[in-house]
Structure 1
Amino acid sequence: MPRIKPQTLLLQSKKKKGPTRIISVTTIVFASFILVLFLLSLFTTYRYWSQRSRNLGDGLDLEDFDEDGEKFDRPIYAIVDTSKGSIVVELFKEASPEIMDKFFHLCKTGYFKGMLFHRVVKNFVVQAGDFQRVGAAEDWILEVKPQNELMSTKHDAFMLGTSKDIHAHKGFDLFITTAPIPDLNDKLVVFGQVIKGEDVVQEIEEVDTDKLYRPKSSIGIVNISLRRQS
């Protein structure tokens, strides 16, 4: 039997063994670099959409409002966060200083947190405030609504106001009109207009109510914060 040469045995041994895979340092560094880039991309995307959500988009760049600063130096906005979504209201510079001061103070102290919309009248107005206090505002809603079609319109929809009997109680009612209201200034102190979130107001307007226009399911204000354009 012929002897097999050592070189032949070495070649046969190499053929039987599978290829040895060695992960180089360069490969590990490159993979780590790709992973870091991916994580940074995710973080950047998150920050972008988070900031866009806070500013409520559509070209409205808003910043926190400092009540100690000059109130009417720049346009002021109220962000009304409700259980149905957010509503952006531009507050009028020429509005009653007394009303504005009280509104600013109540926003700062969290007065509106948890406040319910307790009157919802389709094609007319939605009202938030103290549902246990029955006064001029509620009387106005119940009495004027049936006559609405017979009276001339003088104001646009989506106006924000409060009752003129503000001195009669310690609270602060909020009204958002959903249609042009006749002689609105005779009933309310108007101090703002909805510029974003009209669809949220309309969604609130469409809830089921009883005969006294009280919503059958609770709809409330989560909070109202003040912002101004930067």
Structure 2
Amino acid sequence: MTTGEIHTAKGIMKVSFYDEDAPNTVKNFVKLSKEGFYDGLNFHRVIPNFVIQGGCPNGTGSGGPGYKIDCELTGDNQYHERGVLSMAHAGRNTGGSQFFICHSRDNTSHLDRNHTCFGKVTEGLEVIDQIKAGDKIEKIVIND
């Protein structure tokens, strides 16, 4: 199982990725992380009791890596709950680099099988609640 760490000024979130449920999404996120794509990007969208979202190179939610990836929605872990990492998109099969992390299961069931869940924060859940809009992703470390 692939694991990683999302480093922020508010703390570190340790993540276990859903290698079996979302192999292509995990591979894409790992590739971008290892290339340093996410280093210094901000969490541009923070909605309390819903999600924190980052991964836009423009810092606004308008950009991506220059390509799109398909959604992977059929695995056993395709439901949104506290700590789940999911691929943001502007419509089916338009994800790329933007991702969000869920605050809770409340208000997220409509995302199930619409956005690809590709991992979960296993340690550092309290960091999710401390992130504010504009806070930066210092780096993402992949342990494979």
Q: Give your verdict on TM over 0.5.
A: yes
Which of 61, 79, 86 does residue 12 from structure 2 map onto?
86
Question: What letter corresponds to residue 82 of structure 2 in structure 1?
Answer: A
SS where residue 98 of structure 1 aligns?
helix
Contact 1:163 1:187 survives alignment (8 Å): no
SS where residue 129 of structure 2 aligns?
helix
Contact 2:83 2:120 survives alignment (8 Å): yes
SS where residue 157 of structure 1 aligns?
coil
Corresponding residue for residue 160 of structure 1 = 85
Structure 2 gaps, min length 5: 64-78
In structure 1, distance between residues paired with 2:40 and 2:60: 15
| % identity of equivalent residues | 28
- RMSD between aligned alpha carbons? 2.2
Q: 1:155 to 1:133 in 2, by over 3 A?
A: closer
Structure 1 gaps, min length 5: 1-74, 136-153, 208-214
Corresponding residue for residue 137 of structure 2 = 221
In structure 2, distance between residues paired with 1:129 and 1:202: 18
Corresponding residue for residue 60 of structure 2 = 132
Stretches (4+) displaced over 6 A = none
Ranked by relative contact order (alpha carbons within 8 Å, sequence separation 6 or more), the top structure is 2
Q: Determine if the alignment matches structure 1 residue 173 to structure 2 residue 126.
A: no
Q: Determine if the alignment matches structure 1 residue 196 to structure 2 residue 112.
A: no
Q: CA deviation at 1:93?
A: 2.4
Structure whose residues are more often helix by fraction: 1
Aligned positions, number: 124
Q: Determine if the alignment matches structure 1 residue 183 to structure 2 residue 99.
A: no
Q: CA deviation at 1:102?
A: 1.1
Q: Computing the radius of gyration over CA atoms, which structure comes out larger, 1 or 2? A: 1
SS where residue 109 of structure 2 aligns?
coil
In structure 1, distance between residues paired with 2:3 and 2:39: 17
Question: What letter corresponds to residue 105 of structure 1 in structure 2?
Answer: K
Q: CA deviation at 1:117?
A: 0.3
Matches of residues 20-39 of structure 1 in structure 2 within 5 Å?
Answer: none
